[in-house]
Each structure stands twice: as structure tokens, then as C-alpha cells.
Amino acid sequence: MRRLLPALACFAIAVSAMAAQGEAAYPVKNIRLIVPSPTGGPSDLVARILGDRLSVSLGKPVIVDNRPGASQIVGTAVVAKAAPDGYTLLQAAANMAINPILMADLPFDTVRDFTPVSMTHLTPYVFLVSAQSPVKSLPELLKYVRANPGRITYGVTGPGSPQQLATLLLAQTAGGLRDMTEVQYKGSSPAHPDLIANRISFMIDPLAAAAPHVKAGSLRALAVSTPQRNPSFPDIPTAAESGVPGYDFSSWGGVLAPAGTPRAIVHRLNADIGAALTNPDLTKRFVDMGLVAKHSTPQEFGAFVQTEMSRWRAVLAKKS
């Protein structure tokens, strides 16, 4: 045994050295960035733009892998079960903070099963109607909704989606909005044909996803959801300016890794994400899409997610 102990100690040191060398060499193969939503939405757009930048800075391809389904649970669960080695990452969205409030049987724990890496962006939303709609402003929309109980439909992208929460917040803030019918879609892109054709009355959707249709004139933007006007669409008033004082809604996104991912890898990813998000070209692309680039430390991102969970738990409690 006395002879064995020094050998075991040497082996442990060698293994530790090999692990440290492996982390220092990261990455040595392709990285998969999973987007748990369809193509065309803000998370997908951000993942592809950010992935291109990270592919250069990390020296290995960052491959975007869309895994939509079940309010983003399908793709998120893939990352929760992945090896914590930095080669499978999640482009997370606001559903991470909402799903635990609405669903008791999630196949993962938002806090326990993930390691925060960094926030990536904030997503302003916009009140939309078809260009065919007679509604020309947010006050007109509110008047129309109140005058037609039981006949109003609005689009969301699943239970607990930002679209659903934004509409719930509108009903609580504006008051008098009742008997509206929710129509669920698998993402913003699948909802847009019905909205453009005026088959649903309105939708509160990410400005980034709706911007091409707004610019093309097929969708009419009534107001933005944030307290400030968006610099890319300065002519669109805010909800507060349009008769709903106090209305403030935006979604967010960030990168998460599986729990247990080595700190050195998390810090490397955080630094590279930060460098990408401060690049003027990337910042401009975000602004052009209606997004706001947002970097954070891993600790700040983790605290933010828990604050969001508390905020929406209070909003959803008023619904019941």
C-alpha cells in the first residue's frame, strides 16, 4: 500500500494536468449552439450572427442547430443532458424563466441544470396588425378589442411564450380587455402569414422578427413595447405614448452551458461573446434588426434569470 500511494498521487496529478491542458486547448472540435425555436426568430438570428463571430475567434465552427418544440423545452432539454464540456451550448430566451412557473414536470431545472455564460441581447416587441386591418393605432386597437368581445384573436408562440406574456401584461395594464381568443403557433414565422392575411386580429411580436414585414408594408406596427422608441423605427410610438402608461415589455436572450462546465471554458466563451457583442458591425446589425446587444458576466446573467422568474410569477399570479 505504501508503494501504491505515491503511484496513485502521480496518476492523479497527471490526470489533473491533462484536464487542465484540455481546457486550455478548448476548443478542439466543432461547437453546437442549439436554438430551441424555429428559424427566423430573434434567437435564431442572434445565434447565427454570433456563431459566425465565435467561429472566427474560437478557431472552430460554431454550428447552429434548431430544435423547436413544446415552448422551447425540446431543444433546452438536449443541452441540459449534454456533456458539460463546452461543445453543446444553448441560445436561451425568456421561456427559461417562464416555463418553470407554468409547468411542474419540466425535464430540467432552469437553475440547477445550466451554467450561465452571458446575456446576448434584449428584444423589443411591437404591436402588429395586418396592413389590411382598419386599425391604425394602438388606441384604435384597444377600442376595437373592447367593442368586440368574443371576436378578437391574437397570436402567441405557445404557453408561457413572450407573446402570451406581453398580451397578458397589456390586458392587466390597459384593463377592459376580455374574451379574446388565443391562437398558438410554433414560432413567429409560422404566425406571420395568418397575421398578414388578417386571419388573426393582432399580435405582439419581436420587432426583429416582424421588421421585414413592417418594412415591406404587409404588417402595420402600432407601437413598440419598450419605454423608449426604437432607433431603427423612430416613427413608431411607444405603448406609453399611445395610451397605455406603465407598459414595459421586452424579451431577452443569452447563452447557457450544461451545469458543471469548467469555469475556464465558461470564462473563455464569455470573453469571446463580449468581444463579439461590442464589435461595431455586429452592433449595427443588431440595431438594424431592432435588437439591443447586451453582454454580462455569468453571475449577472444567473441573477437576471432568477429576477425574471420572480417578476413573471407575480404577473401570472394576478391571472389566476
**Share above pLDDT 70 across residues of the chain, in percent, rounded to a whole number:** 92
pLDDT value of residue 23: 52
Cell readout for 147 is 367593442
On average, the pLDDT of the chain sits at 91
CATH label, 29-123+251-319, candidates 3.10.20.90, 3.30.70.1450, 3.40.50.300, 3.40.190.150: 3.40.190.150
pLDDT tens digit sequence for 266-307: 999 999 999 999 999 999 999 888 888 999 999 999 999 999
CA distance 252 to 7: 51
Q: What is the 3-state secondary structure (H, E, C) of 135-181?
A: CCCHHHHHHHHHHCCCCCEEEECCCCCHHHHHHHHHHHHHCCCCCCE
Assess whether pLDDT exceeds 80 at residue 19: no
**Superfamily (CATH H level) for 124-249:** Periplasmic binding protein-like II (3.40.190.10)
pLDDT value of residue 160: 79
Cell readout for 250 is 421586452
DSSP for 191-245? HHHHHHTTSSSEEEEEHHHHHHHHHHTSEEEEEESSSS--TTSTTSPBTGGGT-T
pLDDT value of residue 264: 98
pLDDT tens digit sequence for 201-253: 999 999 988 999 999 999 999 999 999 999 889 999 999 999 999 999 999 99
pLDDT tens digit sequence for 172-204: 999 888 899 999 998 899 999 999 999 999 999
pLDDT tens digit sequence for 41-86: 889 999 999 999 999 999 999 999 999 988 899 999 999 999 999 9
Q: Please name the helix (run of DSSP H) or strand (run of DSSP E) that holds residue 248, with its range, or none.
A: none
Q: Please name the helix (run of DSSP H) or strand (run of DSSP E) that holds residue 66, with its range, or none.
A: strand 62-66
pLDDT value of residue 320: 55
Q: Is 185 helix (H, G, I), strand (E, B) or coil?
A: coil
pLDDT tens digit sequence for 92-142: 999 899 999 989 899 999 999 999 999 999 989 999 999 999 999 999 999
Q: Where are the domains of the chain?
A: 29-123+251-319, 124-249
Give yes or no on whether 29-123+251-319 and 124-249 have one common fold. Answer: yes
Assess whether pLDDT exceeds 70 at residue 309: yes
pLDDT value of residue 2: 53
